Amino acid sequence: PPDVEQLGRATWTFLHTTAAYYPERPTPTQRANMLSLIRALPLLYPCSHCADDFGEDMKNNAPDVSGRAGLSRWLCERHNEVNAKLGKEKFDCGKTDERWKDGPTD
Ligand code: FAD
């Protein structure tokens, strides 16, 4: 079975980076594709209990694919749900761009 920690780090890197470079004003096609990508996770993510919990969380928190800012925040909040479940520190969602797009400013 896959290493759940390594898989998680790689997947969060992919998702947060993809959100950071998602258009400010996506076309309907871009929105539909992002929604498909997100909706596939609970069905295909190769850690079944992770996938199940993520699917449950998504039922109460619909994906925001309206644009870069909303998507980045939505994803940060979902990641924080997983952080809380695992007893990890909550991430400051105001620092998402600094972490995943612009890099540190100092
Ligand atoms: P990670 O949580 O992998 O984070 C990587 C980096 O992202 C951090 O170093 C930090 O710089 C940044 N970061 C942290 N929080 C945020 C945030 N909220 N927003 C933006 N950036 C942030 N593991 C389990 O054991 N059980 C599960 O049920 C489980 N479910 C998961 C569900 C999904 C959809 C995914 C993608 C992963 C899941 N994982 C689960 C894996 C888990 O979330 C971690 O990836 C793994 O434990 C490694 O943690 P880490 O401390 O190295 O940092």
- List the residue whose alpha carbon is closest to atom 51 of ligand 1: 88
What pLDDT shows up at residue 105? Answer: 65
Axis-axis angle for helices 28-44, 48-60 (nearest 10): 130
Tens digit of each residue's pLDDT (9 = 90 or more) over 8-58: 999 999 999 999 999 999 999 999 999 999 999 999 999 999 999 999 999
Closest C-alpha residue for ligand 1 atom 30: 50
> What is d(CA 4, CA 26) in angstroms, rounded to the nearest whole number?
32
Q: Is the CB of 9 under 6 A from ligand 1?
A: yes
CA 85 – ligand 1 centroid, Å = 10
- The residue nearest atom 13 of ligand 1, judged by CA position, is 91
CA-only gyration radius of the chain, Å = 14
**Residues 4-87, CATH architecture:** Up-down Bundle (1.20)
**pLDDT category, 106, cuts 50, 70, 90?**
low
pLDDT tens digits for range 60-81: 999 999 999 999 999 999 999 9
**How far apart (Å, rounded) are the C-alpha atoms in residues 75 and 81?**
10
What is the predicted pLDDT for the residue at 97? 94
Q: What is the pLDDT of residues 13-27, one digit of tens each?
A: 999 999 999 999 999
Whole-number pLDDT of residue 1: 87
pLDDT in tens, 84-102: 999 999 999 999 999 999 8
Distance CA 29, CA 87 (A): 37
Q: Which amino acid is at 85?
A: K
